Copies of this chain bind each other. A is one copy, B any other.
Amino acid sequence: MELWYTEEHTKNVRFSIKVDKHLYSSQSEFQRIDIMESYEFGRFLALDGCMMLTEKDEFIYHEMMVHVPMATNPEIERVLVIGGGDGGAVRELCRYPNIKQIDLVEIDQMVVEACKTHLQQTACDLEDSRVNIHYEDGLKFIRRIEHVYDLIIVDSTDPFGPGEGLFTREFYGNCYKALTDKGILVNQHESPYYKVYAQSLQKAHERVEGYFPVIKLYNAHIPTYPSGNWMFGFASKVYDPIKDLDEDRWMALDIKTQYYNADVHKGSFALPNYVKKLLMKA
């Protein structure tokens, strides 16, 4: 038997992976949720037919979302994760003994439950005593918060469907308000390569721009995401992700990583000319 999962990266580009078993499928109030076992990438989660993570390469995405802000300000204590119901970002955060509170706001409870059952690699720390899960729309949750979090991580889906509100001006403004005086906002920022993603990247960049004095983009190689080149936004009230990186202090924490290190941290902010041009046009 041959079972292939195929994703359209654009209408003219398809990425297909061979599947052993379709472990889980459901239609929640918000989206279709699938978890499959593949030969090359281990288990993977797809929401509305887009791969969100695979066991083989999720370390890249989750390490880069978490360790870049944490190494910039190791004094972060209170963190809000919006989206990220798979638990991958929470797992990386839980490695910092300094962190006292992790609020996870996930709109879709079924995602969390499916990952707890089938994706323990990422969901493994969702029961940590510092973690509070709120099943709620992140856009609404953040409206009532003021001056609480040192770090907000927006681990959203693409800006179509349930993730759409997490790419709006209103949302970024509320993130600013919800952050403490030295707060940092990190959000997944799509890919610069294929047109439809590049347009989302431009919009996200343009909308976050008015609020924060420091705004930089960084990128990573994520083989299962469209084009393999994925970007993150780093927006901050005070800290510069390169000037304020304290390598020695982060090294002293002795957190073992598979992708992240201080050189990768700095190097990830080096953007190719075509990406800079995209951002100037944003």
Residues in A lying within 8 Å of B, measured CB to CB: 4, 10-18, 38-40, 57, 60, 193-194, 219, 221, 223, 227-229, 257-261, 263-264, 266-274, 276
Given A13-B15, A221-B228; 7 other pairs, CB 8 A cutoff: A12-B39, A13-B17, A60-B272, A193-B221, A219-B221, A223-B227, A228-B229
Contacts of A4 in B (CB 8 A): 14
Contacts of A264 in B (CB 8 A): 270-273
Cβ-defined partner of A273 (8 Å) among B57, B261, B268: B261
Chain A interface, DSSP helix/strand/loop, else mixed: mixed
A-B contact pairs, 10 of them (CB 8 A): A4-B14, A40-B194, A221-B229, A221-B272, A227-B228, A259-B272, A260-B272, A263-B270, A263-B271, A267-B267
Q: Compute how far the CA of A187 lies from the CA of B194 in the bound complex, rounded to whole angstroms.
A: 28
Q: Compute how far the CA of A263 lies from the CA of B217 in the bound complex, rounded to whole angstroms.
A: 13
Q: Compute how far the CA of A273 lies from the CA of B264 in the bound complex, rounded to whole angstroms.
A: 9
Q: Compute how far the CA of A16 lies from the CA of B223 in the bound complex, rounded to whole angstroms.
A: 15
Interface centre among A15, A193, A227, A267, by most chain B C-beta atoms within 10 angstroms, is A267
